[in-house]
Structures are given as C-alpha cells and as structure tokens.
C-alpha cells in the first residue's frame, strides 16, 4: 500500500512545483468584441435628441449604465459611453426643459 502512495505522489498533477500562475493573453483593442449595449445607447441617445423621445433618452441612460458595468477596455469603452451619456442627457434636458413640441395643426 505504501508503494501505491509513492507512485501516485510522483505523478500527481497538483504538485506545487508544477503550478504556474495564469497569464491572460494580450488582445489588441481592435480585436476586442463589440460593445453592443454601448452602441444601442448611442442609437437611443441620438433618437432621443433628434426626435425628442423621452423614452428613448431614458433607455439610452439604462444602456449606458449596462455598458459601464460591463466595460472591458477602459480607454475605448469610456469614450463611447461618455458620448452616449451626453446624447442621453442632452435629450432629457431638451425634452423636459426645452420649448414644448408644437401640437398638430388645428383647423378653424
């Protein structure tokens, strides 16, 4: 029984001397996957500003928060998120504090 224990300890893959620390592979910023929630936030933000849709501006802020929580590359993603956030805030400011939208033309 002792010979069995010796042979397994020599071939044991969990030896501390054989352990190597994990090194993450280096990925260039061009090869990173697309941040879809950041892209959707920009689209909703632009629609909120151009067409004055309140719901679109609120959805842009929600997608900005989601994109911010899932950020992988800080430098590239932060530019996209900040642009989307500016569109969303601009849309909300123009919707709530800007001049009111003209209603349908009434016939008299």
What are the residues whose beta carbons fall under 8 Å from the beta carbon of 5, sequence distance 6 or more? Answer: none
Question: What sign does the CA torsion over 84, 85, 88, 93 have?
Answer: negative
pLDDT surpassing 60 at residue 4? no
52: alpha, beta or left, given left = phi > 0 and alpha = psi -120 to 50? left
55: tokens are 């719901």
pLDDT of 108 over the 60 cut? no
Q: Phi and psi of 66, rounded to 5°?
A: -65, -40
Residue 12: band (very low, low, confident or very high) from pLDDT cuts 50, 70, 90: low
Query: Which of 31, 33, 27 is closest to 71 using CA atoms?
Result: 33
Q: What is the pTM of this model?
A: 0.67
């Amino acid at each position: 029984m002792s010979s069995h224990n010796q042979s397994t300890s020599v071939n044991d893959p969990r030896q501390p001397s054989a352990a190597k620390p994990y090194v993450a592979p280096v990925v260039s910023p061009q090869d990173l996957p697309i941040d879809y929630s950041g892209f959707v936030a920009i689209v909703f933000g632009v629609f909120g500003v151009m067409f004055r849709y309140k719901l679109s501006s609120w959805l842009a802020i929600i997608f900005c928060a989601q994109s911010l929580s899932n950020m992988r590359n800080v430098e590239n993603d932060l530019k996209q998120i900040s642009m989307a956030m500016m569109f969303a805030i601009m849309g909300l400011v123009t919707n709530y504090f800007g001049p009111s939208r003209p209603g349908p033309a009434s016939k008299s």
